[in-house]
Structure 1
Amino acid sequence: MKYYLCRYLPPRADFLATMTDDERTWMGRHGAFLDDLLAKGQIVAHGPVIDPDGSYGVSLYRIEDDQDIEAITALDPIVRNGIGRYEHFPMPHLKARD
Structure 2
Amino acid sequence: MAISIPRVLQSSKKLLKSFSHSSNNIDVPKGHLAVYIGEKLQKKRFVVPVTYLNNSSFQNLLRKAEEEFGFHHSMGGLTIPCTEQIFIDLASRLNT
**TM (normalized to structure 1)?**
0.32
- Select the structure with the greater relative contact order (CA < 8 A; seq sep ≥ 6): 1
**TM (normalized to structure 2)?**
0.32
Higher share in helix: 2
